[in-house]
Chains A and B, each alone.
Chain A
């Protein structure tokens, strides 16, 4: 090394103002945590908390051994649950596709009117949990599988719509420009320039949502929207703990299988 002495030896990643702000931020975060902890513990009945391990052991004991003879009775409700998830996902994706094209900045026909509407549909769908959608729909169209399917579909629109419109906005403009330059009509530009680019995202998102929907549809029965959740509720009501164990194991196995399928499919596409 030759002469470098006339260069400063100090360099800092943040300005002193930035460092100060960082410290203030961390202190505020810790203070918030302490305050929340206090608020939370204020109304806790500590006798119950200290009792928790014994209670858990008690329920755990009652849940064992699982009543495996209950399994055949669960297969039909489990099939219903899978159908709710699958049909709900398909319906949701079908409704989400046009919403996504209306919401994407580069494909929306009217950025001033239709885009805000599409974004509102997405936000509305996403902000309401499927259990709450199901609760409303059971009241509207009556208990049963249909309410479950519609609940899953409505919840899926927002998720699929949002991820899909982001994929549409990230498409390569040059490929689209090249198709426009051939004299193609707008629908042909969509078909040749945009759709091929979003296909991997489309399948990835759909399968991912299907995987989530299988997990969500297992609880819809709790509010009367059909499937395995109905059985779970019935068993919980009569305190039939060995049956609850069997249901939980079955749900666990189904979710493992669906995750495996979804991982395989996504790997094959991307």
Chain B
């Protein structure tokens, strides 16, 4: 379980990215974090594993306050938190397997990671994860030889290799096409459900968030302005989060996209026949 208490971040430039954010995320909950660009979504999830140092407040993962611990403790605690990135952030020139195994770096001594001699159990788990995300036969390919959707699957496998207790997911679908985006979101929700894994997902695509999230937190100018189930995400609420916009037209656009996808699927099926 993750609990944020009064979390604030003010950058050196004086920008208050987060002001007094308190949230509680129980085990197994899939939470979408929405808000306009610059609302502090990215800062919020980076404050949790301290890729960004919070200015004040508590980040409680279980019993440990991540905001208070020293460097080597932080490294040990980071193993409990898997992170998935917007543009995959795979090490491009390493193989898929090396990327997945890099999720184990916090557990193995330097010489093992340097010689790429990981314990058998780690290797077996890595293969199992690659199988789970559907990349069993790409293990020895270099990461930069994969497509966007495949790379994000490797990113997911890397995060899971840590055997985390929490997933931080930063705009997982921002560089993917609509269809691949939905596949990736479905994979993420399934995996979290299988493992009872809580996840915080930064997402700018509201319809996608409504479709997949159990709970939505709306952030505006570094403050939580909405917290509830996707069904409560009315136009008034969206206007509070994002400002004035024709939400009806946007939803229609999404309907259009869905029917276009269905159409494409039918045509592909017809071709296959």
Binding site for B on A (CB under 8 A): 172, 174-175, 177-185, 187-188, 191-193, 196-197, 199-200
A interface SS class: helix
Q: A177-B51, A178-B85, A191-B114 are in contact. Are A183 and B106 (CB under 8 A)?
A: yes
Is A182's CB under 8 angstroms from B162's CB?
A: yes
From A172, A174, A184, contact of B106 by CB (8 A): A184
Q: Which residues of chain A have C-beta atoms less than 8 A from B113's C-beta?
A: 184, 188, 191-192
Q: Tell me whether B102 and A179 are in contact (CB under 8 A).
A: yes
Q: Which residue of A180, A183, A191, A197 is within 8 Å of B93 (Cβ)?
A: A197
Q: Closest CB-CB distance, A195 to chain B, in whole Å?
A: 9
Choice from A177, A191, A196, A197 contacting B89 with Cβ under 8 Å: A177
**A-B CB contact pairs (8 Å), 13 listed:** A175-B90, A175-B91, A178-B85, A178-B89, A178-B155, A181-B78, A182-B106, A183-B162, A185-B75, A187-B110, A192-B94, A192-B98, A192-B105
B contact residues around A200 at 8 Å (CB): 93
Contact B89–A175 (Cβ < 8 Å):
yes
B91/A197 in contact, CB under 8 A = yes
> What residues on B are CB-neighbors of A193 within 8 Å?
91
CB neighbours of B192 from chain A (8 A) = none
Chain A residue contacts of B9, Cβ below 8 A: none
Q: Which of B54-90 contact A (CB under 8 A)?
A: 75-79, 81, 83, 85, 87, 89-90
Query: Which residues of chain A come closer than 8 Å to B152, judged between CB atoms?
Result: none
Q: Which of A175, A193, A196 has the most CB of B within 10 A?
A: A175
Q: Closest CB of chain B to A178's CB: distance in Å?
A: 4
- The reply on B49 being an interface residue by CB < 8 A is yes
B51 touches A180 (CB 8 A): yes
**Partner of A183 from B76, B89, B158 at Cβ < 8 Å:** B76
The reply to whether the CB of B103 lies closer than 8 angstroms to some CB of chain A is yes
The 8 closest A-B pairs by CB, nearest first: A183-B106, A184-B105, A183-B78, A178-B89, A183-B79, A196-B93, A181-B83, A174-B89
Report the contact-size class of chain B (Cβ under 8 Å from the partner). Answer: 20 to 34
How many angstroms from the CA of A175 to the CA of B86 in the assembled complex? 11
Separation of A24 and B94 alpha carbons in the complex (Å): 53
CA distance in complex: A4, B92 (Å)? 51
Given the known inter-chain contacts A184-B105, A192-B102, A192-B113, please indicate yes or no for A179 contacting B76, CB distance below 8 A: no
A146 to B157, CA, bound (A): 52
Interface centre among B78, B87, B89 (most CB of A within 10 A): B89
- Bound-state CA distance A9–B114 (Å) is 65
Quick check: B105 and A183 within 8 Å, CB to CB?
yes
- Sample of 6 further A-B pairs with CB below 8 A, known A174-B85, A175-B91, A183-B162: A175-B90, A182-B78, A183-B75, A192-B113, A196-B91, A196-B94
Residues of chain B within 8 A (CB-CB) of A175 are 89-92
How long is the Cα–Cα vector from A191 to B87 in the complex, in angstroms?
A: 21
A179 touching B105 in the complex, CB below 8 Å, given contacts A184-B75, A191-B113: yes
Chain B residues contacting A185 (CB-CB under 8 Å) are: 75, 105, 110
**Which interface residue of B90, B98, B110 has the most chain A CB atoms within 10 A?**
B110
With contacts A188-B110, A191-B113, A192-B113 known, is A182 near B93, CB below 8 A? no
A111 to chain B, nearest CB (A): 16
Q: How far is the CB of B92 from chain A (nearest CB, A)?
A: 7
Instruction: Compute how far the CA of A193 lies from the CA of B92 in the bound complex, rounded to whole angstroms.
Output: 10
Contact of A182 with B91 in the complex, beta carbons under 8 Å: no
CA separation between A191 and B162, bound complex, in Å?
Answer: 18
Given the complex of chains A and B, what is the CA–CA distance between A172 and B144 in angstroms?
Answer: 14
Contact among B49, B76, B94 for A181, CB-based, below 8 A: B49
Contacts of A182 in B (CB 8 A): 78-79, 83, 102-106, 158, 162
Distance between Cα atoms of A193 and B110 in the complex (Å)? 14
| Nearest opposing residue in chain B for A183, CB measure | B106
